Amino acid sequence: MIVRNQASDLAELLVHHRDLYDEAVVVDTGSSDDSPGVAERLAGHVHRFPWNDDFSAARNHSLDHCHGQWILVLDCDERIDPRDFRAVRAACLGGEAAGFILEQRSYCQPTGDPAFVPLPCCGDVPGRPGAAGYVPEPTVRLFPGGKGLHYSGRVHESLAEALAEAGIPVRDLGIPVHHFGHLQGLEGKRRRTSLYGRLLRSKIREEGASPRACREMATQLLAEGRRDLARRFLEAALIDDPVGAEVHRVRSLLGRLDLADGRPEAARVQFHSALRIRPDSWACWADAVRFHSSQGEDDLAVRYLAEARRLFPVNRGLKELESQVFRARGR
C-alpha cells in the first residue's frame, strides 16, 4: 500500500486484514502525520518514496520491497470483508498463476455517474453505513510475486500491460474491495477530482490518447459534469481501437450513458456488444441484467441472471443483483 497522511485509516487497514497477510509493505509518500509511526508499529517497517505526481512510480517502489509469493494491493480507505478472506487464500493456493480481479466498489451518495449502482440498504457494507450506492471498477488486486510485474500509467495505474507481456491470464475472483474514500465529504471529493484531473491530463499529453486513457478521461469528465465531452472521448476510443482490450469497458460506459440520457435502444446495442466481446466478464453480465430489468423485460433479466449465476456461482455480487431484479418485479 502507498499512504500519505492517513494514519487512522492505515491503522484500521492493517488491523482489519491482519489474518490475511504475512507481510505488510507500506510506502509513505511524504506524510506530515503519524502514518510512518503507525507503519513502524503495526507493519514493522516503513519505506519512503518522495511523491512525484506518479502513482505507478510509488506503487512500483512498494512492489520492489515485496517478498511474498502473492501480492495483494489495497489503499488505506479500502476493506475486504472478512467473509471473503477464505476466497483470497484459496486463489493463492489454487495453483494458477493469474492476476485476479477484485471489483472496487466506491461507495457514495447518488451521483450523475451512469455507472452508479443503488443499494437497497447498507447493512451488507462492512463497517461503513451511510452510502446510497457505489460505482464499480474491476481492477487486478491479487497477483503472483517474483514475476517482475510493474504498474504503468501516471494515474489510474494498471498492471494490464505487464500481465499481458508476461503471458499471465486475468481471472475474476468474484469478491469486492469496499472503497470508502468518496464518503469523506465534498472537500475531499473536490481534492480527489482535481488531483486526478491534473494527472490524467498530464498522462494524455505524455503518452497520447490511448483507448484506455480515453475511457479514463471520460470517467474524469463525468466527475466534472462534462457529459458531452465524455461521450466524445468514448466514441473516439472505439474508432481508434475497435477490437482492443478496452472495448468492452468503453461500450459498457457508453451504454450506461445512453441509458441515463434516455436512449435505451442505443444502450441495448452497447451492453450486448460488450457481452459478446467479453462473455467471461462478470461486469458485462451484471450490466445486461440491470438493463433488461430497468426496461421491464423480466424474462430476459431472469434469463441473463441465471446464466451469470451459472458462470459465476461464488460471486458476492449475485445476491445483490438478484435482489435488484426481483425487487423490480415486485417480488
* 128: pLDDT strictly greater than 60: no
pLDDT digit string (tens) for 210-227? 888 888 899 889 888 899
Instruction: Please give the span between the terminal C-alpha atoms of the chain, in angstroms, as a whole number.
Output: 43
pLDDT digit string (tens) for 57-100? 999 999 999 999 999 999 999 999 999 999 999 999 998 999 99
Instruction: Return the C-alpha cell found at 90.
Output: 484459496
**CB-CB contact of 223 with 210 (8 Å):** no
Rounded mean pLDDT, 112-136? 69
pLDDT digit string (tens) for 160-180? 999 999 999 999 999 999 999
DSSP 24: -
Residues in the chain: 331
- In the chain, the domains with their CATH numbers are 2-183 (3.90.550.60)
pLDDT attached to residue 330: 60
**CB-CB contact of 322 with 305 (8 Å):** yes
**pTM, whole model, 2 decimals?**
0.84
